[in-house]
Structure formats: C-alpha cells, structure tokens
Amino acid sequence: MRRGDPYRGWPLSHTDGVDDTYRDYREALRRRVCAVCLDSKDDGACGLASPADCAVEQHLPRIVEAVLDVRARRDDAYAAAIEARVCSHCSERDGLGLCQLRRDGRCALAVYLPLIVEAIEEVEARRDSGQA
Ligand code: SF4
Ligand code: SF4
C-alpha cells in the first residue's frame, strides 16, 4: 500500500473520491499519453491489471510539480537570453539599460515571450518530425 506518501496513488483512470487538483493534468495525460501507450486497451482504458501501478499514475503530483518547476526556470532562462541578446541591441533601453516599454507592459516581445517561444518550438518540432 502507499500509506505515508501523500503524493502517491493518484490514478489517471480512477478519479472517484480523489482531490480534483490534478484533474486537468490527468485528463490531458489520458488524451496524450494513455492514447498512445502500448499498455492501453483499444477503448483507451488502461490495460494494466493494476492501473494504479503505472508510474505516471503513482507519481502524478510530483510529475506535475517537476515539470512546472522546470518550465518556470526555462521561462526565466528565455527571458534572460532575450534580454541579453535582443534588448541589449534595442534602442528603447535607456542609458542605464532599463526599458520603460517593458515596465509598462507595452513591448510585445516581453509580454508575449511565452507564446513566441511556443511558436518557435512548434516550428522546430515540425521540422524535427519532417513535417516542415
Ligand atoms: S500504463 Fe499508464 S500511461 Fe499506459 S494506459 Fe495505463 S495509465 Fe496510461
Ligand atoms: S522595447 Fe522590448 S525589446 Fe526593446 S529593450 Fe524593451 S523589452 Fe527589450
């Protein structure tokens, strides 16, 4: 049993009585991962004798936290890279290297950076898969 570890035992396929905090992640994983998992059945349900033994199910909260943590650090890294490689060449910065447009939320690059990154990553993913 998984007593003593509050992070364990949050199945993808059994949500009755389970905290809803991870429902959206669980459903997204079912669509994207279980749908292609070799252990899933034709109807999309988990084919394991004990679905709760799947590592994705067992560790869902930890997985979500780990991914969100890396993503946050990745976003910070992108912002730092843009500031160093783009803003440093932009005429909007003042003599101290500060940018009023960024502070006012009026630079599209700063405001939409996560979407810009996603768009560029989408192109890269297409190229990597030979679709571009
Ligand atoms: S083994 Fe895990 S990933 Fe595969 S179908 Fe079952 S719950 Fe989904
Ligand atoms: S206007 Fe945008 S690109 Fe230019 S320095 Fe400010 S944040 Fe950077």
Condensed to tens digits (0 to 9), the pLDDT of residues 29-63 reads 999 999 999 999 988 889 999 988 999 999 999 99
Better pLDDT: 14 or 50: 50
Intra-chain end-to-end CA distance of the chain, in Å: 48
- Cβ(102) – ligand 2 distance below 6 Å: yes
Nearest CA to ligand 2 atom 2: 107
Domain boundaries, the chain: 1-65, 86-132
> Can you tell me which atom of ligand 2 is nearest the CA of 82?
8
Q: What's phi and psi for 93, nearest 5 deg?
A: -75, 145
Q: Atom 3, ligand 2: which residue's CA is nearest?
A: 87
Interatomic CA distance for residues 34 and 13, integer angstroms: 10
Higher pLDDT, 104 or 8: 104
* 69-92 pLDDT per residue, tens: 999 999 999 999 999 999 999 999
Residue nearest to atom 5 of ligand 2 (CA): 87
Residue 98: CB within 6 Å of ligand 2? no
Digit-coded pLDDT (tens) for 92-125 = 999 999 999 999 999 999 999 999 999 999 999 9
Largest CA distance in the chain: 66
Give the number of C-alpha atoms closer than 13 A to the C-alpha of residue 98, restricted to the C-beta side: 4
